[in-house]
Amino acid sequence: MKTALLTIFLNLFLVSNAQIVDSTNAQNMRLIHNNHFGFSMGGPGFLGYYYEHYFNQNWSVEVGLGSVLVLTGAYAEGRYYLGRKDNPQKVTPYVGLGGGAALILGFEDYYGTPTFYAPLGLQIFSKRGFAFSFEAAYFRFDGEGFPMGALRFRLMKKKKASKRSN
């Protein structure tokens, strides 16, 4: 199973790097939309919202908060996106590493536990600023490790064209 996932991600990375690009419109969307909010289903925030900031075309940091039933989670995560500044990939593989905390609510008590999250995923960008990601990850929660995944949806505002003064 691990070999199959690794093979799929490697093939998608090679295909995304082999895209033919019109050099007059070559723009890396992570450089244009470097701040955004999104919604996540799964992952260390369970079901909730997050904020991601791109420092450059490869590195980002994400913080999030979410809840589902009796679980509430908050986290911070760093990510590395593969690719080059001059190659505006529409499909980009990434790896990440993060940690946080979860609160588990019981009928009569509650307790907190640290979390650890290590995703391997793909991000797909549209020209209009919408992005979709899916990822598989190792998740350590309440002293146990298990596989987890997430679907992430982002809608980024287009930057307004700056007015030129004559």
Contact 113, 101 (CB under 8 A): yes
pLDDT of residue 77: 96
In the 8-state DSSP scheme, what is residue 24? G
Locate all alpha helices (DSSP H) within the chain, ordered by sequence. Answer: 2-17, 29-32
pLDDT of residue 15: 44
Residue 65 lies in a domain: yes
In the 8-state DSSP scheme, what is residue 46? S
Residue with tokens 């908050």: 74
Domain region containing 139: 2-17+26-155
Longest Cα separation, the chain: 69
Token representation of residue 112: 């907190």
Residue 166 lies in a domain: no
Q: Is 0.85 topped by the overall pTM? A: no
Token representation of residue 157: 């505002």
Residues in contact with 13: Cβ distance below 8 Å, sequence separation at least 6, in sequence order: 82, 93
**How many distinct structural domains can be found in the chain?**
1
Residue 75 lies in a domain: yes
Residue 11 lies in a domain: yes
Cα(24)–Cα(27) distance, rounded to whole angstroms?
9
Express the helix, strand and coil content of the chain in percent, nearest 5 each: 15, 55, 30
Q: What CATH number does residue 141 fall under?
A: 2.40.160
Cα(32)–Cα(60) distance, rounded to whole angstroms?
13
pLDDT of residue 157: 57
* Count of positions (residues) in the chain: 166
Residue 161 lies in a domain: no
Low-confidence ranges of the chain (pLDDT < 50): 12-25, 166
